[in-house]
Amino acid sequence: MLTHPIPPVFDEQSRVLILGSFPSVKSREIQFFYGHPQNRFWRVLPALFGETAGETPAQKTAFLLRHNIALWDVIASCEIEGSADSSIANAVPNDLSRILETARITQIFTNGKTADRLYRRHLLAATGIEAVCLPSTSPANAAWTVERLLSAWQAVADALV
């Protein structure tokens, strides 16, 4: 059983919450979200705002907070083989209450179908906030080009207007 090693990114100004499933092996190694170089998250999200997020976790955190975006994962602990979402078993959800009590979250987005399924199963009843499922930025979702991802993920920028 692995425990989620990365704290959530959020502050009082956060209005949108993006939830992944569980950190990849690479993300667990570097102790920050979407650490695999082939994951398109850090290309897609900053492109929506016409900027880059930087390279370091501190720079990426500053980018998220500057744009009122909170970031975390649905799962607090689980059994998982490598980084494969399809292998997740015995998932225990994160408690989102400290984010929702601190920030003014008006929209929750899930990064991919697994995060969405787990959110609906474990957290929707507690939050009462319907999530919008966005296509996964994972390299395993190769059918989605960066251009297609940008089009779908535009919903995040639109929710912040």
Distance of CA 97 to the CA centre of its chain: 16
Catalytic site residue from 39, 68, 94, 111:
39
Indicate the residue type of 24: S
Residue 108 buriedness (CB in 10 A; 0-12 / 13-18 / 19+): buried
Scored b (16 or more CB within 10 A) or e, 118-152 reads bbeebbeeebeeebebbbbbbeebeebeeeebbee
- Note if 94 is an active site residue: no
CA distance 149 to 76: 26
**Pick from 16, 39, 38, 11: nearest CA to 157:** 16
Indicate the residue type of 92: V
In DSSP terms, which residues pair with 78 in a beta bridge?
2
Indicate which residues carry an active-site annotation.
39
